[in-house]
Amino acid sequence: MSRLKLVVACMALFGLSACGESDQVLTYKQGKYQGKTDTRAYENEPLAYGDAKWTKGDRASWESQIRTRNQAQNEYRRAP
């Protein structure tokens, strides 16, 4: 009988432990962005392992590379 009481007490303890959870809400400060700032895609370095051939900061060469990559994935161009 004492084992049953111990099991019931443990279950009650575990059940009540969830009631003590605190709120995890971020407080927003007006006019303050608290996240990471993003850079433009063409301002990043090209990947070292890929065949990306654009220069950092040159939007036209980056767009040209994207168009070339998209055409390589075009099934209509790949089919004989």
Q: Read out DSSP for the chain?
A: -HHHHHHHHHHHHHHHHGGGPPP-PPPP-TT---SPPP--GGGSPPPSSS-----TT-HHHHHHHHHHHHHHT-HHHH--
Tens digits of per-residue pLDDT, 4-32?
Answer: 889 888 888 887 776 777 777 777 777 77
User: In the numeric block, which tokens belong to residue 47?
Assistant: 């990947």
Tens digits of per-residue pLDDT, 26-51?
Answer: 777 777 777 777 888 888 887 766 66
Q: What is the pTM of this model?
A: 0.46
